[in-house]
Chains A and B, each alone.
Chain A
Amino acid sequence: MSTLSQLKRALPKNTVISGSENTRPFECDGLSVYKQEPLAVVLPNNIAQIKKVLEICRKNNTPVVTRGAGTGLSGGATPLKDSVVLGLSKLTQIISIDAEKKIAVVEPGVRNLAISEAVEEFDLYYAPDPSSQIACTIGGNVAENSGGVHCLKYGLTVQNVEAIKMLTIDGEELSLTRQDEGLGLLALMNGSEGLLGVITEITVKLTPKPELARLVMAGFSSVRDCANTVAEIIKNGVIPSGLEMMDKFAIEASEAFAHPGYPLDAQALLLCELDGDIDSVNEDLNKVLGLLSNATTTRVSENEDERLLFWKGRKAAFPSIGRLSPDYYCMDGTIPKRHLATVLDKISELSTHYKLRVANVFHAGDGNLHPLILYNAGRPGELEKTEAFGMDILKLCVEVGGSITGEHGVGIEKLDAMCHQYSSAELDVFHQIKNAFDPNSLLNPGKAVPTLHRCAELGNMHVHHGELPHPELERF
């Protein structure tokens, strides 16, 4: 009996979806240039059914691609040929909320924002806020170690997860908590992209809502001035809850679309949000305003409406760029902040070289770049050219000591880029970690870590976090 018939027999009606017409919505995730029809899509209602799926797939040697809401941007949930997509979107129970301990226990299919909505009555919220938070699931957030705008102060997903339960490929339940002695298995699972197990329950940390939040908006006549101000703010002991930068192109596009009142004469815009109790916000605000002598315009939100309006432009940056071009490719890389101006100069040179426009939005606080490359997939060869441009940006990130992905994951998108960031010995460690959990490589195989063969074929020289050869030599 085929895998499909076994699944259909073992699971309730309407749980197993097959046939290309029916599985089409699951053929891609947010990286929609890559599509693949799966063998079947299974949408279980409970953990027993997930176990059943794993059992059948294990017996038949069928790969399993776990999926949340499918909002990921790196192809982590793109189906593999002849794979079963295990969609956890029906597991949407908030199991318990403990306002005293500031934790909530939730199923993996609960949406990120639904957690904050459920705990609002206790003046709490779930801090990590990826831009897809209205749709993305918490299970997917753990799998990708998702970030967002507020990471500098409140951490990534990994710092906001207290415990998880997961099923191994053998169907055993592995329970991991922050109190466990020994290795950091819980941290390992954050960002493991569905390669090590299937997450079935998450205990998240909840954060008290701040008494007050105010947003400082400042325009600068150069990217360098703006970047220097970011460094000065942090050096002066202020940790903003959000610290965002946009370049001229992004400012213009957002202003035209969302009308937040951004200064159109500025080459770079800084958005600096301060939150906390009233006294500390005012103290921080005075410090920040004192560091803005280089700014050409400065405005501070006077009320909640205005704060949200200032944010609106930044939050609408991607769709507003989307209005200007048939397609755009959203890149994600991180760099040490001190190299920001240099990196943006180089991206601008590359833009001229490839004859493709690029807009830059940037989580300046934690060095996370999001260049948006504008292209037209309808023109032959333009997607390939765009991907080559993207790869050059990622190489640049590695060269200055950063990373090829800050919060979007590797998935299928950045397998080649991984060859630049890691040596073969390091990649081998990743493969062996996978092997320790999933020896037959059934969980999302081929994603996240490139084969050594692939890297060898690319012939890439990897640059080690900007380090020079012979790191054992002292350098002064």
Chain B
Amino acid sequence: MMSSIAELQKQVREGKELRITGDVDNTDKEYINISLYSGVVEYFPEELVITLKAGTTIQEINNTLATYGQALPFFTESFDKTIGALYATSGPEFSDSVLGVQIINGKGELLNFGGQVMKNVAGYDVSKLLVGSMGRLALVTQISLKILPQRIVKQFQLKQPQRHKASELSLNFESKLKKVFDPYEVFI
């Protein structure tokens, strides 16, 4: 299991047909397991910003945020899940709170998009684009989120969002974007 960026990059560069998991018990060789790449990188309650390694569990994040009376402003069904897993499987209700990501693309390059600020329109918003990418475009290593006070999140009535299939044309663009991030098809 990998616990540093350099090791993760090496695994991507040398890997073929990789899958990504945050499940600590999964020791299958074809998986990149990011459960050890976890922890709060930075937390600024007065900025409403937290930066997390992708393997950090929702439980751990909630515990950290609770010390300042703050909370994640989106639906989380399982506290054992990692923030990386949630990022990979969610939609706009999650990406609305994403401020930035650090990723390792299919070429093993470490890239940063977005940051820790609320407003940022420099370049395409890759940090929101990759939400819902199911780990098929890049290995997400670090995520910065906008968080809110608990008293405000409590008013939201968060629930599991409804989804429907994207159009054929959308899927066509998705496959083109897959090639942008993972030209050698390392991630499956």
Contacts and interface: CB of A to CB of B under 8 A. Distances in A.
B164 interface: yes
Contacts of B109: 425
A145 B125 contact: yes
Query: Range of interface residues on chain A?
Result: 35 or more
B125 A187 contact: yes
Contacts of A235: 45-46, 68
A55 B179 CA distance: 27
B92 A187 contact: yes
Contacts of A471: 5, 102, 110
Interface in B158-188: 161-167, 169-171, 173-174, 176-177, 179-181
Interface stretch (B14-22, B54-62, B113-121): B113-121
B44 to A, nearest CB: 7
A403, A406, A426: residue with the most chain B Cβ atoms closer than 10 Å? A403
Interface in B81-123: 91-93, 95-96, 100, 102, 105, 109-113, 115-123
B169 A174 contact: yes
A290 to B, nearest CB: 16
A179 B166 CA distance: 8
Contacts of A144: 121
B91 A180 contact: yes
A410 interface: yes
A182 B92 contact: no
A465 B52 CA distance: 15
A188 B125 contact: yes
A405 B5 contact: no
B46, B49, B124, B165: residue with the most chain A Cβ atoms closer than 10 Å? B124
A188 B95 CA distance: 11
Given A145-B125, A235-B45, A429-B126, A366 B181 contact: no
A471 B105 CA distance: 16
B130 A184 contact: yes
A234 B92 contact: no
Interface in A394-411: 401-410
A408 B121 contact: yes
B24 interface: no
Interface stretch (A7-15, A29-37, A295-303, A415-423): A415-423
B76 interface: no
A403 B132 contact: no
A138 interface: no
Contacts of A181: 91, 132, 163-166
Query: Which are the 6 A-B pairs with shortest beta-carbon distances?
Result: A406-B119, A187-B128, A366-B118, A472-B5, A237-B149, A231-B46
27 contacts: A151-B118, A155-B96, A174-B167, A174-B173, A175-B170, A176-B166, A179-B91, A180-B163, A182-B170, A184-B92, A184-B125, A187-B95, A187-B125, A188-B129, A191-B125, A231-B46, A239-B148, A239-B152, A334-B119, A336-B47, A336-B117, A367-B118, A402-B120, A410-B121, A422-B122, A429-B105, A433-B124
Given A336-B117, A436-B180, 16 more contacts: A173-B169, A179-B163, A180-B167, A181-B165, A183-B177, A191-B121, A231-B46, A235-B46, A237-B69, A334-B120, A403-B121, A405-B120, A405-B121, A422-B122, A429-B180, A464-B112
Interface of A: 144-145, 147, 151-152, 155-156, 158-159, 168, 172-176, 178-188, 190-192, 231-232, 234-235, 237-239, 334-338, 363, 365-368, 401-410, 414, 417-418, 421-423, 425-427, 429-430, 432-433, 435-437, 448-449, 464-465, 467, 471-472
Interface of B: 4-6, 9, 44-49, 68-69, 91-93, 95-96, 100, 102, 105, 109-113, 115-126, 128-133, 137, 148-152, 161-167, 169-171, 173-174, 176-177, 179-181
